[in-house]
Structure 1
Amino acid sequence: MEKLCYETLEKLGYDGYLLKEAPERVLQFGEGNFLRAFVDYFIDILNEKTGFNSKVVLCQPIAPGLADMINEQEGLYTLFLRGFENGQKVNAKRVISCVSRCLNPYKDYDAVLDCAKNPDLRYIACNTTEAGIAYDPSCQFTDVPADSYPGKLTQFLYRRFEIFGKEAGKGFVILSCELIDNNGKELEKCVLKYAEQWNLGEDFINWVKNENLFCSTLVDRIVTGYPRNEAAAICEELGYEDNLINTGEVFGLWVIEAPESLKKELPFEEAGLPVLICDDHKPYKQRKVRILNGAHTSFVLGAYLSGQDIVRDCMDDEVICGFMNKTIYDEIFPTLTLPKEELESFAASVTERFKNPFIDHALLSISLNSTAKWKARVLPSLKGYVEKTGTLPKCITASFAYYLAFYNGTTLTEDSLNAVRPAGDEYSVKDDKPVLQFFYDHRNDDAEALTHAVCTNVDFWDEDLTKIPGFEAAVAGYLKAIKEKGAYEVMKECLN
Structure 2
Amino acid sequence: MQLSKKTLTTNLPAGIQQPSENSFFLPEKILQFGTSVLLRGLSDYFVDKANRNGIFNGRIVVVKSTDSGGTDAFDKQDNLYTLCVRGIEIGENVEENIIVSAISRVLSAKQQWQEILDCVTNPQLQVIISNTTEVGIQLVKESISEGVPSSYPAKLLAVLYKRYQTFNGSAESGMVIVPTELLTDNGKKLKAIILELSAYNQLEPSFINWLQQHNRFCNSLVDRIVPGKPPADLLATFEKELGYKDELLIMSEVYRLWAIEGDEKVKEVLSFAASDKGVVIEKDIEIYKELKLRLLNGTHTLACGLGYLSGINTVREGMENAELAQYITDVMLAEIAPAIPYPLPENAAVDFGQQVLTRFRNPYMQHQWISITLQYSSKLKMRIVPILHQYYKLFNTVPQHCALGFAAYILFTKPVKKEGGKYYGSFNGTDYHINDDKAGYFYELWQNTVPEQIVAKVLRDRELWDADLSALEGFEDAVTEKFYAIQEHGALNVLSSLQAIK
Query: Residues of 1 paired with 2:198 and 2:433: CA distance?
Result: 44
1:71-220 maps to which residues of 2 (within 5 A)? 71-83=75-87, 90-104=94-108, 109-130=113-134, 132-141=136-145, 143=147, 145-165=148-168, 167-220=170-223
TM-score normalised per structure 2: 0.78
Contact 2:17 2:99 in 1 (8 A): no
Contact 2:323 2:496 in 1 (8 A): no
Residue in 2 that maps onto 1:9? 8
Pick one of 215, 220, 224 that aligns with 1:221.
224
C-alpha distance after superposition, 1:463-494 (max 9, x if no partner): 44454345456667777987689414323235
Deviating more after overlay: 214-223 vs 191-200: 191-200
Letter in 2 for 1:344: V
Residue in 1 that maps onto 2:393? 387
1:186-335 maps to which residues of 2 (within 5 A)? 186-227=189-230, 229=232, 231=235, 234-267=238-271, 270-299=274-303, 308-335=312-339
Contact 1:50 1:270 in 2 (8 A): no
Q: CA deviation at 1:83?
A: 4.4
C-alpha distance after superposition, 1:405-449 (max 9, x if no partner): x5799x9655567677xxxx8888957455466568554x5xxx9
The total of aligned residue pairs comes to 483
Q: Does 2:499 align with 1:492?
A: yes
1:361-440 maps to which residues of 2 (within 5 A)? 361-363=367-369, 366=372, 374-397=380-403, 399-400=405-406, 415=423, 432=439, 434-435=441-442
Contact 1:407 1:439 in 2 (8 A): no
Q: CA deviation at 1:210?
A: 0.9
Letter in 2 for 1:492: Q
Query: Residues of 1 paired with 2:484 and 2:104: CA distance?
Result: 61
C-alpha distance after superposition, 1:241-261 (max 9, x if no partner): 444323334333322222254
Deviating more after overlay: 38-47 vs 279-288: 279-288
1:473-488 maps to which residues of 2 (within 5 A)? 486-488=493-495
Contact 2:164 2:210 in 1 (8 A): yes
For the pair shown, which has the larger CA radius of gyration, 1 or 2? 1
Contact 2:2 2:77 in 1 (8 A): no
- C-alpha RMSD of matched pairs (Å): 4.2
Q: CA deviation at 1:93?
A: 0.9
Query: Residues of 2 paired with 1:276 and 1:300: CA distance?
Result: 29
Structure 1 alignment gaps of length 5 or more: none
Query: Residues of 1 paired with 2:404 and 2:109: CA distance?
Result: 51
Contact 1:306 1:487 in 2 (8 A): no
Q: Secondary structure at the match of 1:270?
A: helix
Q: CA deviation at 1:148?
A: 4.3
Relative distance call for 1:348 and 1:269 in structure 2 (3 A) is: farther
Q: CA deviation at 1:99?
A: 2.4
Give the share of equivalent positions with the same residue, in percent. Answer: 33
Relative distance call for 1:4 and 1:335 in structure 2 (3 A) is: same
Q: Secondary structure at the match of 1:293?
A: helix
Query: Residues of 2 paired with 1:242 and 1:412: CA distance?
Result: 36
Residue in 1 that maps onto 2:345? 339
Query: Residues of 2 paired with 1:210 and 1:12: CA distance?
Result: 51
Letter in 2 for 1:487: V
Query: Residues of 2 paired with 1:241 and 1:211: CA distance?
Result: 44
Q: CA deviation at 1:214?
A: 1.6
Q: CA deviation at 1:156?
A: 3.1
Q: Secondary structure at the match of 1:277?
A: strand
Relative distance call for 1:50 and 1:458 in structure 2 (3 A) is: same
Residue in 2 that maps onto 1:26? 30
TM-score normalised per structure 1: 0.79
